[in-house]
Amino acid sequence: MRIKIATLAGLKRSLNNGEKGIPGESVMKMFVAGNWIDKPQQIEVRNPFDGSVVDTVPKADTADVDRALAAALEGARLMRALPGYERFRILRATAQLMHGQSGQLARTISLEEGKPIRESRVEVARAIETMELSAEEAKRIGGEVLPMDGASNGARKLAFTLRVPCGVVVAITPFNFPLNLPCHKVGPALAAGNAIVLKPASDTPLVALRLVEILLEAGLPPQVVSCLTGGGESLGEALCTDSRVRKISFTGSREIGEKIIKLAGLKRVTMELGSNCPLIVMDDSDLDHVAQGISVSGYSNAGQTCISTQRVLVMRRVYGDLIDMLQPRVDALKYGNPLNETTNLGPMIRERDAARINQWIDEAVRDGARLVTGGRYDGTHHEATIVADVKSNMRISCQELFGPAVAVTACDNFAEAIRLANDTNYGLSAAIFTRDLDRAMQFCREVDCGNLHVNGGPQWRADLMPYGGLKESGLGKEGPRYAIQEMTETKTVVLHGV
């Protein structure tokens, strides 16, 4: 249902020049093959809250891809020869510089992505930690000694493995965490001794370009990194099919991930894809704690997080009580300008996304679901929404919603909840609230997800942990230590005795 929300016009206002994402710059350049370059064709980066232009960036083409990859080959040779301790020093300096610019980085995220400023500060802090973790791991990359005595023909032989960089890494990142997700690719790639070509989302390229500025200021050789701004359709095929690329790391939708895999051929790939995360609520759980967890994990970043709580599977005995406790918390979420300290619900990145979410909600209600609260949108603002009595075949449940709404379904028993949690092609993150240890352990054994949470929402993540999905939610793991394993290859060395 589309309406004009009376308070929205009063909340929106044009940003003055002092609020541009890149202060003092009217046009942001992109970094290609060691140079900041401009292009005749430009892309406007718009604030999703009020539609104002934050900045413009060049629109890269396939010739820019070729230049970036040619430079990356030389950059990869430089990085391969750079000792791990020197890579550590560059990444540590990067983290320190990011800390000194944390306020400006957070503001840029809020302007180009619409994330409330308090959430943007959390993202910046996490991104700094991701770079710190990557720096530390740069000093720890090594192989293993192989037990040749265990082989029938291994006497008098010594063998070990060497872990070496892949070479050229392409990183393609989405809009929803425009700083931390690039850091989860750039940091490990550099720590491992690779060169990297970064293609940030065209909606949110500004903070990624600022990250490149910081890396160069920290001492990274300019041939080692390029940042191409432009649409994925125009650049993606050129990046993913080029034989100079050895590794592709992508975060985004399942559909685009599948296309990239088909294009990549015999390249190494890491795919962090979508989900529709389930949260099981048992009848022995603390419902106040559950409601608070859902109000955070279902609606932060306007639900635009691949591990947001989407499907709430509740034991029937506490079904009504949980909805009654959740509704006032959701209604209390305050929409507004992301730069305001009191805002805790920001806009969607695009109006068409808000319209799609609203369509799915309306479909569910027409098919018998019950709208508890919310359910309206205006432009990029979609109200925080609860939909109850949801059936598993409704799109709001069986597909990835990626918006500020949760779908609540009643379950008669634990076995039904487990079955519904697994009734999806996705498997990124899932959660259960219960005081019963046996149920918690059964949940961990039987639910097919890469990340499992007991008495916490599925959106929780520590940046050092291995993070990745099962089924169609992806391939490989992120987290600096684990991403480095994905961005390196092993050689086996055998010394033959005489």
**What pLDDT does 314 receive?**
98
First vs last Cα of the chain: how many Å apart? 81
List own/partner pairs for 448-451 with CB under 8 A and 24 or more apart: 448/422, 449/275, 449/277, 449/473, 450/474, 450/477, 451/307
Among candidate residues 276, 360, 290, 292, the one with its CA nearest the CA of residue 319: 290
Give the pair of three-digit tokens for residue 262: 């088909």
**CATH entry 3.40.50.300 includes domain 13-273+474-490:** no
| Phi and psi angles of residue 450, each rounded to the nearest 5 degrees, phi first | -75, -25
Q: For residues 306 and 468, what is the distance between their CA atoms, to the nearest angstrom?
A: 11
Alpha helices, H only, 169-286: 180-191, 206-217, 232-241, 254-264
Given 132, 272, 383, 472, which residue is catalytic? Answer: 272
Q: Mapping DSSP to helix (H, G, I), strand (E, B) and coil, where does residue 315 land?
A: strand
Q: Among residues 306, 398, 411, 449, which one is catalytic?
A: 306
Per the listing, tokens 């075949």 go with 393
277 assigned to active site: no
CATH number for domain 278-463, candidates 3.40.309.10, 3.30.1340.30, 3.40.50.300, 3.40.50.720: 3.40.309.10
Q: Where are the alpha helices (DSSP H) in 279-410?
A: 287-297, 316-331, 351-366, 395-398
- CA dist., res. 41 & res. 56, Å (int): 10
Q: Assess whether 306 carries a catalytic annotation.
A: yes
Domain edges within the chain:
13-273+474-490, 278-463
pLDDT of 113: 98
Residue 498 pLDDT = 62
Per-10-residue mean pLDDT of the chain, 498 residues long, equals 37 34 59 97 97 97 98 98 98 98 98 98 98 98 96 95 98 98 98 98 98 98 98 92 98 96 97 98 98 97 98 98 98 98 97 98 98 98 98 98 98 98 98 98 98 98 98 97 98 91
Distance CA 224, CA 305 (A): 30
Lookup: tokens for 285: 């759980």
